[in-house]
Amino acid sequence: MTQDIRDHITNAKHKKQAAFKALLNYYWNDIYAFQLSKTKNENSAEDITIQTFSKAFDKIAQYNEAYNFKTWLLSISSNLHIDELRKNKRDTIPLDEANHKAYDISDSAPSPEDKLIIEQNLEQLLLYIKQLKPHYQKVIHLRYFQEMSYKEIANELEEPLNNIKVKLLRAKKLLSEIIKNS
């Protein structure tokens, strides 16, 4: 690990945004390639990679410099992948081995009450999003409401792809803090 990377890690521990961006730019391809080899799906790999950096940056104070930073990131990423596999496994429907039929499944369509709750939750979420700075609102809107890819957002906003990733990561973190404080 170079002294430059060590300096970025130290600065990240002091919450300096430029250091987070530099670490993300330096390690993004390694973590993304690792996830792509695991998931074989670009969207899943990208989502888990973003989760990896988000979790790492949230826990950067706990990083022990006796270990390689890339190894630490890879272990976080690996654990997130395992968590995703477990979640997907829980979501599958077991088969009845005697007659190979799926168990009876109840109607999963939302009831009128469920629809009302979802609508109210969406309204509350939109109010929280409006508390963010406009550029963060924009990336959240494009990613989650218009369901644009990171590349499409970068083209739309005419910004580098890594800037979009950092902005979205920061926007989600700020939104999470707003929701927790409410």
pTM above threshold 0.75: no
- 3-state SS class at 96: strand
Phi, then psi, of 95 in degrees rounded to 5: -95, 145
Model pLDDT, residue 92: 60
Q: Do 175 and 128 share a domain, yes or no? A: yes
Model pLDDT, residue 64: 87
Model pLDDT, residue 98: 47
- Tell me which of 29, 60, 90 is where a domain ends: 90
The contacts of residue 67 (CB under 8 Å, 6+ apart) are none
> CA 59 to CA 56: how far, in whole Å?
5
Q: Answer yes or no: is 101 within a domain.
A: no
Burial of 122 (0-12, 13-18, 19+ CB in 10 A): exposed
Q: Do 173 and 130 share a domain, yes or no? A: yes
Residue with tokens 């950067």: 60
Residue type, position 3, single letter = Q
Q: Do 129 and 81 share a domain, yes or no? A: no
Q: Answer yes or no: is 98 within a domain.
A: no
- Tell me which of 33, 58, 90 is where a domain ends: 90
User: How many CB atoms lie under 10 A from the CB of residue 93?
Assistant: 7
Degrees (nearest 5) of the Cα angle 63, 64, 68?
Answer: 95
Q: Do 119 and 64 share a domain, yes or no? A: no
Model pLDDT, residue 96: 52
Phi, then psi, of 101 in degrees rounded to 5: -110, 150
Q: Do 55 and 27 share a domain, yes or no? A: yes
Q: Do 31 and 80 share a domain, yes or no? A: yes
Q: Do 66 and 117 share a domain, yes or no? A: no
Model pLDDT, residue 66: 84
- 3-state SS class at 25: helix
Q: Do 25 and 53 share a domain, yes or no? A: yes
Model pLDDT, residue 91: 61
- Tell me which of 90, 124, 157 is where a domain ends: 90
Model pLDDT, residue 86: 86
Q: Do 26 and 58 share a domain, yes or no? A: yes
Structure tokens of 63? 């990083």
Picking from 133, 142, 134, 146, the residue whose alpha carbon sits closest to that of residue 165 is 142
Intervals of the chain under pLDDT 70 = 91-111, 113-116
Q: Answer yes or no: is 95 within a domain.
A: no
Domain, as residue range, for 42? 3-90
State the total domains in the chain.
2
Q: Do 78 and 117 share a domain, yes or no? A: no
Degrees (nearest 5) of the Cα angle 15, 17, 22?
Answer: 115
* CATH (domain of 166): 1.10.10.10
Q: Do 128 and 163 share a domain, yes or no? A: yes
pLDDT tens digit sequence for 86-131: 887 776 655 554 455 555 555 566 667 666 677 777 788 888 889 9
Q: Answer yes or no: is 68 within a domain.
A: yes
* CATH (domain of 55): 1.10.1740.10
Sign of the torsion formed by the C-alpha atoms of 81, 129, 58 and 182: negative
Picking from 58, 53, 59, the residue whose alpha carbon sits closest to that of residue 73 is 53
